[in-house]
Amino acid sequence: MEKEEKDVKRKEIRQRIGMRVAALRKHAGLSQEQLSEKAGLQRTHVSRIEKGRYSLNIETLQAIAEALGMTVDIIDPGLQDLAPLKRLTPPMVGSLGTALNSKVTEVFKVEK
């Protein structure tokens, strides 16, 4: 694989991880500021991670997972891709919200 292809792949992985972190943070009802405090990070760091602009190490990923009450394997991009969620419109999200929250809570065993 050429360097350019590897760079594109790395960027895609960073973006998928960032999208997953943002989705899990929002599901937990946390702001970026609250997540950053719980994880021991700066808010700008969390923002860059969620936007896929920062390559994070395993320690940072573990801190975020723990702050969300999860483990690193839940955040792993090799699991279910959240890309289809980008196509949802606000009315669609509103009508799916309750069902989705219930399913996410069931699948990830999220404690409220």
Place of tokens 């719980």: 38
Per-residue pLDDT at 79: 47
pLDDT cut 90: percent of the chain above it: 35
Per-residue pLDDT at 100: 55
Per-residue pLDDT at 112: 47
Residue 51 is part of which domain span? 3-108
Q: Domain tally for the chain?
A: 1
CATH number at residue 75: 1.10.260.40
What digits encode the pLDDT tens for the residues 8-37? 888 898 898 899 899 999 999 999 999 999
Q: 108 phi and psi, to 5 degrees?
A: -95, 0
What digits encode the pLDDT tens for the residues 69-91? 887 765 444 545 444 554 555 55
Q: 29 with 97: CB under 8 angstroms?
A: no
The model's pTM: 0.62
